[in-house]
Amino acid sequence: MATSRSNLTASTGLNVTGGTIAAGNSASTITGSLNYTSTSSSTYNGVIAGAGKTLTMNGTGATLTLGGTNTFTGATTVSRGTLAAAAAGALGGTVSVTANSGGTLLLSGAGAINRVNNSASVLLAGGSLSMAGLSSSSETLGALTLSADSIIDFGNGNGDTLHFASLALNGHDLTVNHWTGPFYYPTETTDHGDATQDRLLFDSLSLSPAELAEISFYDDAGAFRGTALDISFGGTPELVPVPEPTTVIGGMVLLGLIGYRERRRLGGITRRFARRVRA
């Protein structure tokens, strides 16, 4: 356990292999790489600094919460457990973020902005990028790339926005969980969303129909909302769910059956009325 109620100073980096790291003072500084492999959760409110230094989260079942402004400029890797960026600049200097299978990058801290370097590339290698616990929050990131089937989770809140530079699926599936918003159709020209809609935005987006079909949206109840539609309002490309053709056809059939039933009902009323008149 590395604990400090005042200043924690580690001038050559720090390996946390067990217990916790607890530095409540923002003056605490780790100058060098941080490698966290403990299975116990920790909150670190100090600074991780150093040009080219890295942060590795590899603590199965644990959460490492970053509550300070960190300036290290190397890569961030989440291989196991959860790394929570809970303050503005928590990953403000990192050049890239990788979430491997079993790892989650959690964007947290209500009211925080710019938790991650806006140009940091994001590689989802079977892991998750989550906004669970937030509402009406946003984060801007660099290019999003998949190297395995991965997850974006908007959490049970609503009105959250993730804005990436671009998207490369590389033949892998992207699951978008806890998405809030309406259905859209390929011919849409009007934005039906409101302040509660979650947004998945990009500076540029060029996906084939087959790639769009590799992206699936699910709502807060876990119900499948549809595969992706590339749509643009105000010049900003956006991914939204479009219902599967079978859903549309099923809805049309249902409406047709309702209409047929109502016509028969009204027809029966008309015939009974006509018989009474003749009588």
Q: What confidence tens digit (pLDDT) does each residue in 175-222 have?
A: 999 999 998 888 888 898 889 999 999 999 999 999 999 999 999 999
Identify whether residues 166 and 64 lie together within a single domain.
Answer: yes
When divided into structural domains, the chain yields a total of: 2
pLDDT exceeds cutoff 60 at 145:
yes
Residue 68 confidence class, pLDDT cut points 50, 70, 90: very high
Q: Both 163 and 75 in a single domain? A: yes
Indicate whether 177 and 214 sit together in one domain.
Answer: yes
How confident is the model at residue 253, as a pLDDT? 39
- Do residue 158 and residue 46 come from a single domain? yes
Q: Kindly state whether residues 233 and 259 are assigned to the same domain.
A: no
How far is the C-alpha of 144 from the C-alpha of 209, rounded, in Å? 19
- As given in the structure block, the two tokens for residue 233 are 């309002």
If asked whether residues 156 and 85 sit together in one domain, one would say yes
Same domain, 133 and 60: yes
Same domain, 178 and 270: no
pTM of the model: 0.85
Nearest to 65 by CA among 89, 44, 38: 44
256 and 207, same structural domain? no
**Is 97 in the same domain as 42?**
yes
Q: In this predicted structure, what is the pLDDT of residue 188?
A: 83
At 140 the pLDDT is 97
Same domain, 267 and 129: no
pLDDT, greater one: 75 or 243 = 75
261 lies in which domain range? Answer: 245-279
Q: Which residues pair with 151 in a beta bridge?
A: 128, 175
Q: Give the 3-state DSSP-derived string for the chain, with helices as H, strands as E and coil as C.
A: CEEECCCCEEECEEEECCCCEEECCCCCEEECCEEECCCCCEEECCEEECCCCCEEEEEEEEEEEECCCCCCCCEEEEEEEEEEECCCCCECCCCEEEEECCEEEEECCCCCCCCECCCCEEEEEECEEECCCCCCCEEECCCEEEEECEEEECCCCCCCEEEECCEECCCCCEEEECCCCCCCCCCCCCCCCCCCCCEEEECCCCCCHHHHCCEEEECCCCCEEEEEEEEEECCEEEEEEECCHHHHHHHHHHHHHHHHHHHHHHHHHHHHHHHHHHC
The predicted structure's pLDDT at residue 27: 62
